[in-house]
Amino acid sequence: VDPVVQEDMDKFQETFKGIKNRFRLINRIGEGTFSTVYKAEDLLYEEYDNDWDIEEKENPSHYISPPVKRQKLSHFGLPEYTQQRRRPKYVAIKKIYVTSSPARILNEIELLNDLRGCRSVCPLITAFRHTDQVVAVLPYFRHTDFREYFRKMTVPDMQIYFRSLFTALDAVHDQGILHRDIKPTNFLYEPDKKRGVLVDFGLAEREGTDCKPCICMLDSAERRRRVHASVAAQIGPASGYPKNDSRPSRRANRAGTRGFRAPEVLFKCTDQTTKIDIWSAGVILLTILSKRFPFFNSTDDIEAMIEIATIFGQKRMKQCALLHGTVFETSIPTIGQAGFTLEKIILWSTCRNDGGDGEIPLTSEEKLAVRFLERCFELDPHKRISAKEALEHPFLKIAEE
C-alpha cells in the first residue's frame, strides 16, 4: 500500500471511534467528489448475524436507522441477502465527506435501503456515524476498471454488459428512482462474471421531486401556443434580446457528470424523469462503439450542448429546445442543420472511414447496436426507450440467458 494512502487510512481509523474493532482497512479504492472508498475486511463477519441488537444497545448513536420499514433486521439497513447468505468477508467502506449535507447523506442511505431487494444494486449493509462523519458499509464487489476492457469489447460483450446495466436500471426505475449519475465508474462490472452492480446513489432522487411541471409534458399544439405566446409577450415585435428580461430564470437539477447529461438536463427541464439515465447509458455505449473515453469532453453546459448539437444537428436541437420551452440558436459554423448519423460518427472515431477504398463498413451486429443507441439518444425523453422496453429490444434480447 502507498504510504500516503496508509497514512490516510491510519488517520481515519484513529478518528472514527470503534471502527478498528470491526474492520481492517486494506486499501483505498476510490476517491471522488463526495467520498473516499476503502476496501476492508469485516472482522466480525461470522458472528455478526445474531449480534445486531447488542451492538445497537451499546452504542445507539453509531447507527443511522433507515426511516422506512423498521423490521428487526432491516432496522440496521441490513439487506435481505444477509438472511439467506453468509455475510461478505470484504466490504467497501464509503466515507462520505463531511461537506455533504445531512439531507444528501440521508437521501443516499434511504434510497439504498429502498433498493435492498434489487440484485443488481450494490446493497447497503449498514451505516455508521461518529460526530459529523458518516460511513456506509457495502459488500465489496470485485470489478475491472472500464478503461482496461472497453476497447476490447466485441458486440456480444456489449450485449451482456448492457443487459446487466439495463436490468439494474429497470429495477431502480421501477421503484420510481432516478440514479442521475450513470457512468462507467458507478457501474461495477466484472467481465469474467458477466455481471455488474450499480453503486453511488449520492445524486439519486425520487421521480417527481423536482416537479414544477415542465412545458414538455403538454401536447405539442398547446406547447407551441404557449411558447409563441411567451416569446411574443416577452420579446415583443422587435427582434433582439430584451433589455429588461422579466421571464423567471430557469432553475432545474443539473447534478450529474459532464458528458453524460441528457439534453433535457442541459435545457433545464424542470420535470426530469428516469429517461435521463437511459441517455447516460447511451453515452457509455457510444464510448464503447467509438473506442473513445471520454467521448464528450465539455467543461460546461454550453460546450456540452455544442457537442450534442454537432452530432444531432441544429434542426433537431431546436425542436428539442422548444420541447422544454426554450430556444436553441447558434452561429457556430461546424454545427450543421442535419448533423451526422451515429454510424458516421462511429466510423470516424474508429478511423474506418477515410472516404476511399479503405472504408470498413459497420457489421450487421454493429448496426444493431447503433439502432439500439438511436433509441437511447432520442432527444425527446418521452420517445426515448425505457429500461423495460430496452430489455425487449433485439440488441439486448439476444443476451438473455
Asked if residue 108 binds Mg ion (CB under 5 A), the reply is no
- C-alpha cell recorded at residue 135: 460511513
Asked if residue 287 binds ligand ADP (CB under 6 A), the reply is no
Residues across the chain: 401
Binding span for ligand ADP by CB under 6 A among 53-61, 163-171, 198-206, 380-388? 198-206
Site for ligand ADP in 4-23 (CB under 6 A): none
Report, in Å, the least distance between residue 30 CB and ligand ADP: 2
* 181 is a catalytic site residue: yes
3-state SS class at 363: coil
For every residue of 88-121, DSSP letters joined together read PSEEEEEEE-TTS-HHHHHHHHHHHHHTTT-TTB
Asked if residue 35 binds Mg ion (CB under 5 A), the reply is no
The number of residues that bind ligand ADP (CB under 6 A) is: 18
* Angle of the 301-323 helix axis to the 220-235 helix axis, nearest 10: 110
273 phi/psi in degrees, rounded to 5: -120, -175
Place of cell 448533423: 339
User: Rounded CA gap, 311 and 317, in Å?
Assistant: 10
Asked if residue 271 binds Mg ion (CB under 5 A), the reply is no
Binding span for Mg ion by CB under 5 A among 6-14, 28-36, 329-337, 355-363? 28-36
User: Rounded CA gap, 283 and 307, in Å?
Assistant: 12
User: Rounded CA gap, 286 and 308, in Å?
Assistant: 12
Site for ligand ADP in 132-151 (CB under 6 A): 138, 140-141
Site for Mg ion in 169-208 (CB under 5 A): 186, 200
Asked if residue 159 binds Mg ion (CB under 5 A), the reply is no
- C-alpha cell recorded at residue 389: 422496453
Asked if residue 202 binds ligand ADP (CB under 6 A), the reply is yes
- 350 makes contact, choosing from Mg ion, ligand ADP, none, with CB < 5 to 8 Å by partner type, with none
Report, in Å, the least distance between residue 107 CB and ligand ADP: 12
- Which residues of this chain interact with Mg ion, rule CB under 5 A? 32, 186, 200
Positions marked catalytic: 181
